[in-house]
Homo-oligomer: A and B are copies of this chain.
């Protein structure tokens, strides 16, 4: 099979992760050009991985007829515009989450995608995490019968800086969006209503920035099943990423990953490792797997499993949760659409 030629837009932390995975863990690709409005970042990444072409704008990437596909790893506010232009240019797109903070812009982007023949995949990498993927597959194999209750725990090890919070779109669009997608993915059902209870319990600067740091979100599914997502911006013991699905025939549970499977038994306690602390450690394999799927979909003309619709629905859920928290009442998704 011919090597796929890729352009990478955005050379920040997540762009670097994808470049490294593509070149060292996946293969079968060539990264033709990297762009970043902070040109130094693009240069630095390109140098580390022996990539020849670098530019400030992404135009050079979209205009290069040799490039088959692009990764959109730039800031959120650029995602929808780049998606539209890239779709028109016939480039396959892997787009980091969220597609945009505005439903209108998301819809414009998805429309452009639909008109084209391109593959479009959204970066909900957690679907590819071995723990969650196994649970998703076990649900589909009906190992627990019909799902009734879903519990998602998602707690960050430490809060982001206030400056980031201000432009993040809020906790639901920035952090819970992964959990909203997980809620839909894990039992393959649509959510119809959202109730969000929130708190400012950690950092007053987050409140000043107009956001919350703690949340418990209840989701009702079409099937009648219920889900609770709990979020905190600060778990001292590390990155807490757990999941549970309860159904008519049993329960599936994912606990946290640790660096080792060792314990120390002393006169004080029996203790084991803390959960993996950093999201790049925790989701190492899921970042590789989502990119592997994207490459494979482009190469073999398959449809990516994480669609534009998935990206849109997660954003709609985030919007509904925000409205629910503001108005302190359950919000139906039909109120958002």
Q: Footprint of B on A, CB under 8 Å?
A: 24-25, 27, 130-131, 134-135, 138, 143-144, 146, 148-149, 151, 153, 155, 195, 197, 199-202, 214-216, 218, 220, 224-228, 230, 232, 234-237, 240, 246, 248-275, 328-330
Q: Which of B148, B262, B273, B330 contacts A201 (CB 8 A)?
A: B148
Looking at the assembled complex, report how far the CB atom of A11 sits from the nearest CB atom of chain B, in whole angstroms.
19
Q: Are B230 and A266 in contact (CB under 8 A)?
A: no
A273 and B274 in contact, given A25-B24, A226-B197, A265-B237 (Cβ under 8 angstroms): no
Looking at the assembled complex, report how far the CB atom of A129 sits from the nearest CB atom of chain B, in whole angstroms.
9
10 smallest beta-carbon distances between A and B, as pairs: A250-B266, A269-B271, A271-B271, A237-B265, A236-B267, A251-B265, A216-B226, A228-B228, A199-B224, A254-B262
- Please measure, in the bound complex, the distance between the C-alpha atom of A220 and the C-alpha atom of B228, giving whole angstroms: 14
Q: Are B143 and A264 in contact (CB under 8 A)?
A: yes
- In the bound complex, residues from chain B placing their C-beta under 8 Å from that of A228 are 151, 216, 218, 228, 230
Q: Are A149 and B214 in contact (CB under 8 A)?
A: yes
Q: Which of B131, B236, B246, B256 contacts A155 (CB 8 A)?
A: B246
Oligomeric state, in number of copies? 4
Q: Which of B25, B215, B329 contacts A329 (CB 8 A)?
A: B329
- Please measure, in the bound complex, the distance between the C-alpha atom of A275 and the C-alpha atom of B269, giving whole angstroms: 9
- Please measure, in the bound complex, the distance between the C-alpha atom of A149 and the C-alpha atom of B216, giving whole angstroms: 8
Q: Are A262 and B24 in contact (CB under 8 A)?
A: no
For the A-B complex with A216-B218, A254-B261 known, give 8 more contacts whose Cβ atoms are closer than 8 Å: A130-B260, A131-B260, A197-B330, A200-B224, A201-B224, A201-B248, A228-B228, A240-B251
Q: Are B201 and A260 in contact (CB under 8 A)?
A: no
Q: Which of B135, B149, B199 contacts A148 (CB 8 A)?
A: B199
Q: Are B201 and A225 in contact (CB under 8 A)?
A: yes
- Please measure, in the bound complex, the distance between the C-alpha atom of A257 and the C-alpha atom of B263, giving whole angstroms: 13
Q: Are A201 and B261 in contact (CB under 8 A)?
A: no
Looking at the assembled complex, report how far the CB atom of A260 sits from the nearest CB atom of chain B, in whole angstroms.
5
Looking at the assembled complex, report how far the CB atom of A223 sits from the nearest CB atom of chain B, in whole angstroms.
8
- Please measure, in the bound complex, the distance between the C-alpha atom of A227 and the C-alpha atom of B197, giving whole angstroms: 10
